[in-house]
C-alpha cells in the first residue's frame, strides 16, 4: 500500500495569520498520526510564512518518538537568513528520514515545477551527498514527462517526487488521460534506473484513487492543502482515515 505523509504547512499558515500558538502544529500532526497517517511532511520556507524552524524541531521530536517518518521539503540552494538556518542545517538538526529537494524560489506561492536536469548538476550532486551523509533518504521534485529523469539517479537521489499539479488540474477539468499517462511513464522510467517514486501536489479524495491505481510502484504521497481543507468540514481523524481507505482500495 502507498504510504500517506500528511503535510501540516496549512495548519501553520492558520496559526501565523493570527499569531500565537493556535492551532498547534504538533497537536494537528499528532491527530493525523493517531488516525493512521504513516508520516508527517513539512516545507519550511526562508520567509517563515508557514512552518518555521522551531516547528521542524518539534515535529522531528514527535515523529522520532512515534517511530514514523518525517519528510522535510525545501530548496537546498536558498541562502540562510534570520530565522532560517538553511535547508541543510535544518536537516542536520532534525535528521528527517527523507529530504525532498524542491526548486522553488522565495517569491513562489507554492511549488509549481520540478528540477531542470539540463546542464551542470554538480552543486545538486554535492547537496544530495551531504544529505545522505546525515542519514536522509533524498527525493527530488520532478515534472511528469521529463525525458531526463535518469539524471536524478546520476546525482545520487534515492527517489523522485512527481509533481501532480497538472494531473490534478486535468482531473478537475474532466480529462486527465494524458496527464495521468505522463505520470505513469515517468514513474516507469524512474523505476527502470533504480529510483523510488513518490508524488504530491493538489492530490485530493477525488483524484487520488485513480492516480494510485495507475502509477506503478507508488511508495508515498504527501498531501496537505486539500486534506487540511477537507478536515475543516469533517475533522482530521475522519479525513485522514478517508485517504487511507482510498489508498487501501487502490492497493487491492
Residues with a known catalytic role = 43, 73, 201
Total count of residues recorded for the chain? 252
Measured between alpha carbons, how far is 49 from 43 in angstroms, rounded to an integer? Answer: 10
Q: What's the farthest any 2 CA atoms get from each other in the chain?
A: 48
Q: Looking at the DSSP assignment, which residues form a beta bridge with residue 162?
A: 142, 199
Handedness of CA 26, 31, 32, 33 (dihedral sign): positive
Measured between alpha carbons, how far is 144 from 198 in angstroms, rounded to an integer? Answer: 12
Measured between alpha carbons, how far is 38 from 95 in angstroms, rounded to an integer? Answer: 17
For the chain, report the end-to-end CA distance as a whole number of angstroms.
8
Measured between alpha carbons, how far is 128 from 118 in angstroms, rounded to an integer? Answer: 17
Quote the cell numbers at residue 37: 497517517
Cis preceding linkage at 23, omega within 30: yes
- The helix or strand, by DSSP H or E, that contains position 139, with its residue range, turns out to be strand 137-143
Under 8 Å between Cβ of 214 and 154:
no
Tell me phi and psi for residue 47, to 5 degrees: -85, 0
Amino acid at each position: 500500500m502507498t504510504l500517506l505523509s500528511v503535510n501540516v504547512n496549512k495548519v501553520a499558515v492558520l496559526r501565523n495569520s493570527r499569531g500565537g500558538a493556535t492551532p498547534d502544529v504538533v497537536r494537528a500532526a499528532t491527530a493525523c498520526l493517531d488516525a493512521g497517517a504513516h508520516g508527517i511532511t513539512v516545507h519550511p520556507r526562508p520567509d517563515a510564512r508557514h512552518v518555521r524552524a522551531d516547528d521542524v524541531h518539534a515535529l522531528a521530536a514527535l515523529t522520532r518518538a512515534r517511530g514514523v517518518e518525517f519528510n522535510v521539503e525545501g530548496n537546498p540552494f536558498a541562502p540562510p537568513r534570520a530565522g532560517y538556518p538553511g535547508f541543510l542545517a535544518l536537516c542536520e538538526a532534525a535528521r528527517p528520514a527523507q529530504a525532498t529537494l524542491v526548486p522553488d524560489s522565495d517569491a513562489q506561492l507554492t511549488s509549481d515545477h520540478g528540477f531542470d536536469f539540463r546542464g551542470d548538476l554538480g552543486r545538486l550532486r554535492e547537496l544530495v551527498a551531504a544529505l545522505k551523509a546525515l542519514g536522509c533518504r533524498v527525493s527530488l521534485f520532478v515534472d511528469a514527462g521529463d525525458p531526463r529523469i535518469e539524471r536524478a539517479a546520476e546525482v545520487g537521489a534515492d527517489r523522485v517526487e512527481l509533481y501532480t499539479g497538472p494531473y490534478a488540474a486535468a482531473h478537475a477539468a474532466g480529462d486527465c488521460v494524458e496527464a495521468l499517462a505522463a505520470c505513469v511513464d515517468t514513474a516507469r522510467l524512474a523505476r527502470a534506473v533504480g529510483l523510488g517514486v513518490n508524488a504530491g501536489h493538489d492530490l485530493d479524495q477525488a483524484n487520488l484513487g485513480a492516480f494510485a491505481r495507475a502509477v506503478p510502484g507508488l511508495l508515498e504521497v504527501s498531501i496537505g492543502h486539500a486534506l487540511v481543507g477537507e478536515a475543516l468540514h469533517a475533522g482530521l481523524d475522519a479525513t485522514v482515515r478517508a485517504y487511507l481507505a482510498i489508498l487501501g482500495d487502490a492497493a487491492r
